[in-house]
Amino acid sequence: MINSSQHALKTLLWRDFTLAARNKSEWLNPLLFFVFAAVLFPLGIGPDTVILKQIAPGIIWVVALLAALLSLDTMFRADYEDGSLEQLTLSPYPFGMLVLGKIAVHWLLTGLPLILLSPLLATFFHLDFDATLILMQTLLLGTPVLSLVGAIGSALTVGLKRGSMLISLLVLPLYVPVLIFGANAVAASTVGLDISGHLMLIAALLALALTLAPLATAAALRASIG
């Protein structure tokens, strides 16, 4: 049973990556928004290095959060519309595991590229090497939380024709702790303060989301389908 579940999960992951390769705009648009929106701030504020370093953590994290929001509406919608989601709920495999697989695909297509692009944006804000590494660490811990928590909102609104605005209202309050701890960790590192507490809090949020979000998302999807 374990081997068959693993095979089903691998098949689902391969299917989702194949569909993503055919619909590049669904995951490219948030990445382009992340880059262009973040770059506009240094252009608009000016070349003052001190100011750019001060605002960099908050700006990059806010833009990353908004970029993640842009892709949430499509996480389950295509599967809902073509009936694949209902078939997944009826399959003999653990639905929570399959949901976690779809969330992982979402993070790999959106969250991981944000992390890889963050050093490029850090150069526009004149962040030093150490601060850039801390930024990447916070994004590495925080972006999975955005995908996990966002999946709950996406599941609750998957049956609505215009659910993107409702998703924002549902998940934005839950994103605030990740935003605060992530941005403050980078800001603290730029002035030489200890950031271990911030990283541990983000890691705790990730552990909590990883434990509860797949189950909550699976329940919300069943409710939306039923």
Please, what are the averages of pLDDT over each run of 10 residues along the chain (226 residues)? 73 86 84 91 85 91 92 85 84 88 92 93 91 95 95 88 77 93 92 90 96 93 83
Backbone region of residue 93 per phi and psi (left: phi > 0; alpha: psi in -120 to 50; beta: other values): beta
Q: How far is 95 from 76, CA to CA, in rounded Å?
A: 13
User: What range defines the domain where residue 90 resides?
Assistant: 2-225
- Asked if 55 and 125 touch (Cβ cutoff 8 Å), the reply is yes
- Say how many domains are in the chain: 1
Q: How far is 181 from 58, CA to CA, in rounded Å?
A: 10
pLDDT at 163: 63
Considering the entire predicted model, what is its pTM? 0.92
- Asked if 12 and 98 touch (Cβ cutoff 8 Å), the reply is yes
Helices 129-156, 95-106: crossing angle, 10 deg rounding: 140
- Which amino acid appears at position 168 of this protein? S
pLDDT at 190: 85
Ranges assigned E (strand) in the chain: none
